[in-house]
Structure 1
Amino acid sequence: MTSAPDLPVRVPRPPRRVPERLRRLGRTAPLLVQSAVAAGLAYLVAREVLGHVQPFFAPAAAIIGLGASYRQRWRRAVEVVVGVAIGVGVGDLVVALVGPSVWVLVVVVLVAMSLAVLLDAGTVVVLQAGVQAAIVTTLVANPDDGLDRWLDAVVGGATALVVAALSPVGPLRRPREHAVEVLRTVASLLRDAVRACRTGDADLARRTLERARATDYALQQLRDAVAERQAAAALSVLRPVRSRRALADAATHTALDLAVRDVRVLVRRADVAVERDDPVPPEVLGLVVSLAEVVDHLAVGFDDPAQVEVLRRELVAVAERSSTLGVPLGLSAAAVLAQSRSLVTDLLRLTGLDAATAVGLVPRMT
């Protein structure tokens, strides 16, 4: 008789401490302010300009539109308007023909959501179609109110886009945060690879390799953050300034992506060296440790113009050292050294250098 397999136990997330909650509030404060301002403006426009008595969906649509990321705001605003149009249209038509009832409610919601699905609409459109159909069927006494609700959605969506264009400050710090996280991971991987080689710890080497392979998630987070900034730049009235920052973030992502690839190969070779008992000379391992220290300095001084020259000098010093080690190199040692030099080149690009200049600062090996 076989025993039932153990089910995974979900560990509850520990409650956030007050300082962490305050930091989270600080990070989300710009979006909260945008949402509040957009809600007020949308309500004001729908009531004072369009003359709607209770335009409650105008602020709701504005909040929904701003709740999406910058890459999704145009789409989300349009989806809200389309979803409302479908729901209101189906609801008004059916109620006008047969009158309101529970069964009419069921049919109207089903038809509205099905129509949205047939139109290959997104989740927001499908949900809004169902919600608005239900509201029109149960709450709207005057058929003309259905059109008012759709106009409120238009006002809310347009207001969300206007507010976002005037103050796109929500996630614009995120690329830097993700880049720093990737740099710290790189430094940690380098140190663990060295420790595995020095101690011959095959388990540590294998775990380090697995961690290196798992860096795709951190890079994806950075890639998404860069795309957010690019979308914010396209939406913002401050487009020239935002565009320059977006281009800088894109260059950062490219350099870090290459740097992580270098580290993966280096860690993979360290794992092979430990597995095959192919020793890496202390001089090479010491160079990798020095490189990890420079990466730590990069993480601390990242995006700080005052630190650029200092960081470049540190990287160039490691590059010069790598070219004059003068020790016999086996296959694993040569691979580790080569990847370290490639890593220096890609990290130099993080300081604002182009690829050709960065390569020129790494001397040939003698």
Structure 2
Amino acid sequence: MSPDVQLVAKATLAAGGAWWLSQFMPGHNLPYFAALAALLGVYPTVLSSLREGGRYAFGFLLGLLLGVPVAILLGPTVWGLLVVVPISLLIAAWPQLDGHGMQVPFASLFVLLAVGSEPVARALPLLGDVVLGVALGLTVNAALPPALRQRETGNAFRRLGRLTADLLHDTAAEIRASDLFDPAHRARRALAVHSGAMDVAEARTKAAESLRFNARARLARHEGPLPANPVLEALYAAAEQARVITREARRSGAGSDPTMLSPGFRARFAELLDLLAELVDECGRSMRPVPTERLEEAQTRFRELRAEAVDSARAEEYERVPYRRLAEAQLCALALQLLLDLAPDGAGEMAPERLGVSY
């Protein structure tokens, strides 16, 4: 059964149970609020049920605290309406109520206009219905534990690695061709990487939340591991650095001025980008740090690239094309940063000075 179907089934069970139970409580002639509160108390995670159900009940309580005194003093009149509406809307804007702020004007207006005489005696059963509904919704959700969300995190993580790798591969192809590809396609690639990073953050938050107060948490290992924080941060940093490299490489190494980079540097830089793309994709798929042997291969490629950029035999060439040295040094620095982002903490071999870099 899919998580959505499970959620619908639990919400239906909670709403029906609250409607039935409220009939046995004294003075509860209108079980509508019990069913509604139970329905709104069932969320994809137990923690969100507790949080959102509490906000709903609190907003309803604030509405009663406003509506009952006004109903006693002014009654269901236009003057009572003129008092309740602006105050309740101001309270509804309170950030702590989040999406349940409108319960304040709803509850206050309902008490003022619908309950008639004896607002206190009529309002208390309504509050009891809401408490019953929220409690039953939370109980049903906890008793029938919602699905864990770890697979979604793994899928989002792998997608971010794949999107970042695609962006780097495209950039390498443009560098080799000394030409820019479709600008709309390029923009979509960069935007997809940014969206992928946001999706990972959201999926990880939901996965962590789904484990709290969830009886299925002890079975979490069967859902697949969550990526460790260092790996997550490494992939985030690599994704952002890939966007920077792409922007700078396209400005310096492709387009209307193919002389910006030397042919030798262009070929080595494209090779390094392709290798870095493979490492990013590998990190995303495995949700683990890049293996040491793969990093050593990237180090070798970087040293070759760096040697190409600082070759003393190219002094005359740099004099003829003075902006070339700066462009190549800039791309070396950006590639080095991406390589460092993918390296595990404390990887001494990856220190810039060990790679022959002094900037």
TM-score by length of 2: 0.70
Partner of 1:312: 291
* 2:78 is the counterpart of 1:88: no
Contact 2:11 2:39 in 1 (8 A): yes
Q: Residue 259 of structure 1 corresponds to which residue in structure 2?
A: 238
CA RMSD of aligned residues (A): 4.3
Name 2:270's counterpart in structure 1.
285
How has the CA–CA distance of structure 1 residues 206 and 83 changed in structure 2, closer, same or farther, with 3 Å as cutoff?
closer
Q: Identify if the C-alpha distance between structure 1 residues 124 and 289 changes in structure 2 by more than 3 Å, giving closer, same or farther.
A: closer
Q: Partner of 2:69: helix, strand, or coil?
A: helix
Q: Aligned to 1:154, which of 110, 131, 139?
A: 131
Tell me if structure 2 keeps the 8 A contact 1:281–1:333. Answer: no
Distance in 2 (CA, whole Å) between partners of 1:99 and 1:284 is 78
- C-alpha displacement of 1:186: 0.4
| Secondary structure of 1:355's aligned partner | coil
Verify the 8 A CA contact 1:259 1:346 in the aligned structure 2.
yes
Normalised by the length of structure 1, the TM-score is: 0.69
- Provide closer, same or farther for how the CA distance between residues 355 and 62 of structure 1 changes in structure 2, counting only shifts above 3 A: farther
For 2:133 and 2:230, how far apart are their aligned partners in 1?
Answer: 36
**1:249 Cα offset (Å):** 5.7
Shift of 1:264: 2.6
Cα separation, partners in 2 of 1:230 and 1:49, compared to 1, 3 Å: farther
2:244 partner amino acid: V
1:328 to 308, 320, 334: 308
Q: Is the Cα contact below 8 Å between 1:59 and 1:156 reproduced in 2?
A: yes
Mapped to 2, the partners of 1:90 and 1:290 lie a distance apart of 65
Query: Which segment drifts farther, 226-235 or 40-49?
Result: 40-49
Query: Paired residue for 2:346?
Result: 356
Equivalent position SS for 1:328: helix
Cα distance in 2 for partners of 1:99, 1:151 equals 23
Q: SS in structure 1 opposite 2:308?
A: coil
CA contact (8 A) 1:191 1:292 kept: yes
Q: How many residues align?
A: 329
What is the one-letter code of the residue matched to 2:111? V
Deviations 1:18-71 (A, max 9, x none): xxxxxxx94633433443343344445544577844422223123324458877
Decide whether aligned partners of structure 1 residues 273 and 69 sit closer, same or farther in structure 2, where only a CA change above 3 A counts. Answer: farther
Question: Which residue number in structure 2 is paired with residue 136 of structure 1?
Answer: 111
Q: Distance in 1 between matches of 2:19 and 2:177?
A: 67
Q: What residue number does 1:228 align with?
A: 206
Aligned to 2:88: 113
C-alpha change, 1:283 and 1:133, in structure 2 (3 Å) is: same
3-state SS of 1:169 partner: coil
- Determine the C-alpha separation between the residues in 1 that align with 2:349 and 2:69: 72
Amino acid at match of 2:261: D
> Match of 2:245, as an amino acid?
L
Give the equivalent residue in structure 2 for 1:62: 38
Larger RCO, structures 1/2 (Cα 8 Å, 6+ apart): 2
Q: Which amino acid aligns with 1:195?
A: A
Distance 2:304 2:183 in 1: 24
Which residue of structure 1 aligns with residue 320 of structure 2?
none
Aligned partner (choices 94, 97, 107) of residue 122 of structure 1: 97
CA distance in 2, matches of 1:164, 1:316: 46
Gaps of at least 5 residues in structure 2 are: 310-324
Q: Which amino acid aligns with 1:265?
A: V
CA distance in 2, matches of 1:295, 1:119: 43
Paired letter, 1:254: E
Identity fraction in percent = 22
The letter of the residue matching 1:287 is L
Q: Counterparts of 2:281 and 2:18 in 1: how far apart (Å)?
A: 47
Considering only CA atoms, is the larger Rg found in Structure 1 or Structure 2?
2
Give the letter aligned to residue 101 of structure 2: V
**Residue type of the partner of 1:319?**
A
Mapped to 1, the partners of 2:136 and 2:225 lie a distance apart of 24
